[in-house]
Structure 1
Amino acid sequence: MSTADWLPDGFSVQRIDTNNTRLSVVVGGSGPVLVLLHGWPQTSRAWARVMPDLARNHTVVVPDLRGTGDSDRPEGGYAKANQADDIRGILTALNLTGPVAVAGHDIGSMVAFAWAAARPEDVSRLILVDSLLPGLGLEEAMNVAEGGMWHFGFFMTPHVPEMLFDGHELEFITATFTAMANPGTFSDHDLAAYARAYTGRERLRGGFEHYRTLLADGRDNRALLAERRLSMPVLAVGSAQSGTATAQALAPHADNVQGAAAPTGHFVAEEDPDWFTKTVTAFLA
């Protein structure tokens, strides 16, 4: 899948060498920097519906995380704190100085949170969109013995998920997105584009690698939070199903946390881009 297929007007694509890998990055707009980090199984395309409005007042930086989209798929380096260094390297290459605002969805939220916890001086505002966080409730939520979500442990298993998903990417994408989003959010073209982005064992592996570090990510987060609280303002956006659970989990570890429940399913920025842009713009202001 080519990034140019969906790129909004005023945005351009760069390939940037950073932290021993090469990432594809979309940049547009002007003003204070806002970094947008997508989740799985998505790419930077996930932010297409909100990028033009956000770029009116911000320089918007939207990478494909390592292992996804048009970025490279290295063997390792998927720990969320290390991926935060990927993003720091992007900003250095673009000559964009901090501190910056960062928003993440799903896996992207985990990278954004690790960045803020490890290097709080880099992050002026933190926005987390419908994501459980390693070390702050994720482990309990994926405990299948207690009714937790099965897919986390399965995706962590080496080799097997990509073997079984190979050849069934569109089926999986369609089933997942249909179950987790309001009807009509994703067109057949959208679903096919995301399926192409994860088609084949190597592309699938790049996606699953984000899950294979989650237990270590949780240990890293707990160690960081034992040393300091988050000092920057945090907006934790949940869905109609998850509500303010992430905000509640963060409250003991942050000085200023706001919770908001979007009138959507999991894919907030795509299901209701107007609500998302208004909420985020108000928070950043």
Structure 2
Amino acid sequence: MSTADWLPDGFRVQRIATNDTHLSVAVGGHGPVLVLLHGWPQTSRAWARVMPALAETHTVVVPDLRGTGASDRPADGYTKTNQAHDLRGILAGLGLTGPAAVAGHDIGSMVALAWAAAHPDDVSHLILVDALLPGLGLEEAMNVAQGGMWHFGFFMAPDVPEMLFDGHELEFITATFTAMSSPGTFSADDLAAYAQAYTGRERLRGGFAHYRTLLEDGRENRALLARRPLPMPVLAIGTHQSGDATARALAPHGDDVRAALAPTGHFVAEEDAGWFTRTVTEFLT
């Protein structure tokens, strides 16, 4: 399915050359800039249900991260600090100046945090949605010897995940999205669209590349946050599955870290778009 199948009215899609690659980005609305960064295995489509309401008060910028969706799939450059340069280039290419509010979900939260830590003057508000963060507890959570989450280490392995997932993309996405969301959140068309976005070894490689830098991301985050705390207000949104773990991990590293608990599973913006829009709008104002 193409971007046009889900893109809300009032948004347009552009391809922007940035940081030695090309990224696809949807833009709409008016007012202060709000950047929305999707997780894995998703694309900018993940924000479709909240984009119209947020665009009433903000200029909403919604990219496909490098390696995903309609963006290019370069062989490298997937550290989260380097992806911050991708996004800085997008805003420059759109002619948008001044600090932006940045919201990320899952892998997108990792990129958002790195952007805020490396370039704090760029970010007016930081919103992190249901994510473990490199350098701030992720490494412990992925330690399988202590009962941690096996998939992080598996996705970091070279070549093997692509080989095993190839031909089983829809099965994996259907099982994963169903287990981690409220019943009825995703239609068959939604699941098929996400599966198509990651079908084939090249598209799978672009997704797994985000995981293969996680240890380096953790080292960079620790160094950046040791140098200076996050100066902007931070909203860490957890769920009934994750609780306030992200807020607690960030509390020592920010002057204004707030927690919110969504009445949803992992896919907050899609499971309860109204709650997400109200919570984010209140935080930004």
* Structure 1 partner of 2:36: 36
DSSP 3-state at the match of 1:240: coil
Counterpart amino acid of 2:269?
A
User: Using the alignment, how far apart are the partners of 1:129 and 1:233 within structure 2?
Assistant: 14
Counterpart amino acid of 1:100?
A
Structure 1, gaps ≥5 residues long = none
DSSP 3-state at the match of 2:250: helix
Q: Deviations over 1:142-194 (max 9, x none)?
A: 00000000000000000000000000000000000001000000000100000
User: Using the alignment, how far apart are the partners of 1:177 and 1:59 within structure 2?
Assistant: 29
Counterpart amino acid of 2:40?
W
Give the C-alpha shift of residue 3 in structure 1. Answer: 1.0
Give the C-alpha shift of residue 49 in structure 1. Answer: 0.1
* Structure 2 partner of 1:149: 149
User: Using the alignment, how far apart are the partners of 2:262 and 2:240 within structure 1?
Assistant: 6
Give the C-alpha shift of residue 266 in structure 1. Answer: 0.2
Q: Say if 2:249 is the partner of 1:246.
A: no
Counterpart amino acid of 1:230?
L
Q: Say if 2:167 is the partner of 1:167.
A: yes
Give the alignment of 1:137-216 within 5 angstroms: 137-216=137-216
Give the C-alpha shift of residue 251 in structure 1. Answer: 0.4
Aligned residues: 285
User: Using the alignment, how far apart are the partners of 1:167 and 1:221 within structure 2?
Assistant: 35
> Which aligned runs of 4 or more in structure 1 are off by greater than 6 angstroms?
none
Give the alignment of 1:74-89 within 5 angstroms: 74-89=74-89
Counterpart amino acid of 2:226?
A
User: Using the alignment, how far apart are the partners of 2:4 and 2:74 within structure 1?
Assistant: 23
Counterpart amino acid of 1:73?
R
Structure 2, gaps ≥5 residues long = none
DSSP 3-state at the match of 1:17: strand
TM-score normalised to the size of structure 1? 1.00
Q: Say if 2:58 is the partner of 1:54.
A: no
- Percent identity of equivalent pairs: 81
User: Using the alignment, how far apart are the partners of 1:119 and 1:43 within structure 2?
Assistant: 24
* Structure 2 partner of 1:119: 119
Counterpart amino acid of 1:186?
F
Superposed CA RMSD in Å reads 0.4
User: Using the alignment, how far apart are the partners of 1:83 and 1:75 within structure 2?
Assistant: 13
User: Using the alignment, how far apart are the partners of 1:241 and 1:110 within structure 2?
Assistant: 19
DSSP 3-state at the match of 1:101: strand
Counterpart amino acid of 1:45?
R
* Structure 1 partner of 2:281: 281
Give the alignment of 1:17-32 within 5 angstroms: 17-32=17-32
Q: Deviations over 1:106-134 (max 9, x none)?
A: 00000000000000000000000000100
* Structure 2 partner of 1:237: 237
User: Using the alignment, how far apart are the partners of 1:197 and 1:237 within structure 2?
Assistant: 26
